[in-house]
Structure 1
Amino acid sequence: MTPPLAVDIDGTLTDSNRALDPRVLDPIREWPEPVVVATGKALPYPVGLCEFLGIPVRVIAENGGAVYLADDDELEFHGDREAAQRVVEEYRELGHEVGYGKVDFTNRWRETELAVNLDQPLEPLKELAAAHGMHVFDTGYAYHVTSPGVDKGEGLRAVCDRLGVGIEEFAVVGDSENDAAAFELAGTAVAVANADETAKAAADHVTEGSYGDGFLEALDSLRDA
């Protein structure tokens, strides 16, 4: 039986340059069970992806900080954006930057966390986050300053409660440590070959293919399960 599916974006639906792999579009559209886009990106990105795919908007954004389902038209937030802002302000006082330029589309629409570019130093960010009772995810694409206990696993739990689906029925495909919490709760967890070690350790299966190739391989295995 084909499971409902939660899928990451960066590193899973994209290539190594973070461009969306066009081969993933039709298989997602045609998946017979609910598809949830689960990402560390701000809410407009997964919403836009669902809209352009032509599928119902079901998203977990900001590493679990924002959850929206078209099924009940409810948007819920979890996380302390103000605490994340305090961490970033003190980080800047130490002479560091967020690293996304003046306009900063990466953080412009974030409501529960903040992201810092990987070209900035991690250790002082982690120290400041800990001092404020916050947590830092290194997703391989950004450092995310977020509240403890807010993660994709809790986001998926909220989705399942609202859809009336057991979390063990879901399959999750991803590539990063921010996917690990969802991997540990889902019935089936698949890491693509380019995944980090945390994601691979939490997954039930690691694909031979990387990026979009790995995602398509994962779908084939889930159809045959």
Structure 2
Amino acid sequence: MPAPFRLVASDIDGTLIRSDGTLSPRTIDVIERLPVPLVLVTGRPVRWLRQLYDQMSDPPPAVCANGAVVYDPDTDEVLVATSMDVELLLDVAKKLRDAVPDISLAVEVEDGRAFWYDENWPMRWESEHRQVRVLTSPEELTSVPAVKLLARSASAGSPDDFFALVSRTLGGLAETTHSSSSALVEISAAGVTKAAGLAWLSEREGITAEHVLAFGDMPNDLPMLAWAGHSVAMGNAHPSVAEIADEVTATNDEDGVAVFLEKTFGL
């Protein structure tokens, strides 16, 4: 009996790609033979998609920045973007700086095509990118709308502990989540989640949640996995993800998404 799914939604890091950032030959083959559309649903900004798209013959659309941006690679067009306005950024940044003395902040601006960061942000990559720059003053951080605010702390303990601290501090003022092995929290406008972005794109295509199969591995995937008709956690998933998923597949380094799709669609 054919699978009842009309769309496959997959996170990227820790899920679709291996730990070295590549798609395995097996996964590429399965994606190319998949009888339904694939949508990437990621915390990544638009500018980080090219590394993955270059490995694919037919790049699929992407829900980026944890649901704040929906992107069409065929036209290089942002279909929808939900930003935090300047007033909200000012409020959130002040609360975080008051609560966490050593906090460092950064923002995804221009729909995720540019990245601005505090001087004390631990920048380790893409620092030479023309759309990535260090801010000359704290006020610059909140000078324009942003699709995502990122917060780091060197003294906040575990990623889960820091996430709990930031969530308590903001008290629902904005959406908080995390997907890193370090103390990094990702903050969006209230209501912006991977589920919301995926729901927007699915509705545009005439597809309802019950016909969506979703894969993920980290807490920022939880809303999407709860929304989708069938959810699959990776073998390497955060405990909170494995707990709520309908099924668990192999790890990302064991081609877990491909393994599950082969079985489900008879590929």
Alignment TM-score, normalising by the size of structure 2: 0.70
> Structure 1 158/108 Cα, relative in aligned 2: closer, same or farther at 3 Å?
farther
Question: What residue number does 1:153 align with?
Answer: 195
Alignment of 1:29 onto 2:32: yes
> Structure 1 149/164 Cα, relative in aligned 2: closer, same or farther at 3 Å?
same
Q: How many Å separate the matches in 2 of 1:50 and 1:10? A: 13
Question: What residue number does 1:96 align with?
Answer: 103
Q: Is the 8 A contact 2:81 2:147 kept in 1?
A: yes
Q: How many Å separate the matches in 1 of 2:205 and 2:132? A: 30
Q: Is the 8 A contact 1:97 1:120 kept in 2?
A: no
Q: Is the 8 A contact 2:175 2:193 kept in 1?
A: no
Give, in angstroms, the shift of residue 206 of structure 1.
Answer: 0.8
Give, in angstroms, the shift of residue 212 of structure 1.
Answer: 3.6
Question: What residue number does 2:138 align with?
Answer: none
1:133 aligned residue (173, 185, 189): 173
Alignment of 1:76 onto 2:76: no
> Structure 1 201/219 Cα, relative in aligned 2: closer, same or farther at 3 Å?
same
Q: Is the 8 A contact 2:102 2:153 kept in 1?
A: no
Q: Is the 8 A contact 1:134 1:145 kept in 2?
A: yes
Alignment TM-score, normalising by the size of structure 1: 0.81
> Structure 1 90/184 Cα, relative in aligned 2: closer, same or farther at 3 Å?
closer
Give, in angstroms, the shift of residue 197 of structure 1.
Answer: 2.1
Q: How many Å separate the matches in 2 of 1:28 and 1:192? A: 17
Q: Which runs of 5+ in 1 are unaligned?
A: none
Which structure 1 residue ranges, 4+ long, deviate > 6 Å from structure 2? none
Q: Deviations for 1:69-122, whole angstroms, at most 9, x for unmatched residues? A: 4689661012415334653465456232243328497x9599411223475622
> Structure 1 157/101 Cα, relative in aligned 2: closer, same or farther at 3 Å?
same
Q: How many Å separate the matches in 1 of 2:220 and 2:51? A: 21
Give, in angstroms, the shift of residue 168 of structure 1.
Answer: 1.4
Whichever of the two has the greater Rg, that structure is: 2
Give, in angstroms, the shift of residue 151 of structure 1.
Answer: 0.7
Q: Deviations for 1:194-225, whole angstroms, at most 9, x for unmatched residues? A: 11122122211012x21242222222232249
Question: What residue number does 2:21 align with?
Answer: 19
Correspondence list, 1:108-123, <5 A? 108=132, 111-117=146-152, 119=154, 121=156, 122=162
Q: Which runs of 5+ in 2 are unaligned?
A: 106-120, 134-144, 157-161
Q: How many Å separate the matches in 2 of 1:140 and 1:95? A: 19
Same amino acid, percent of matched pairs: 22
Question: What residue number does 2:230 align with?
Answer: 188
SS of the aligned residue for 1:154 comes to: helix
Question: What residue number does 1:87 align with?
Answer: 92
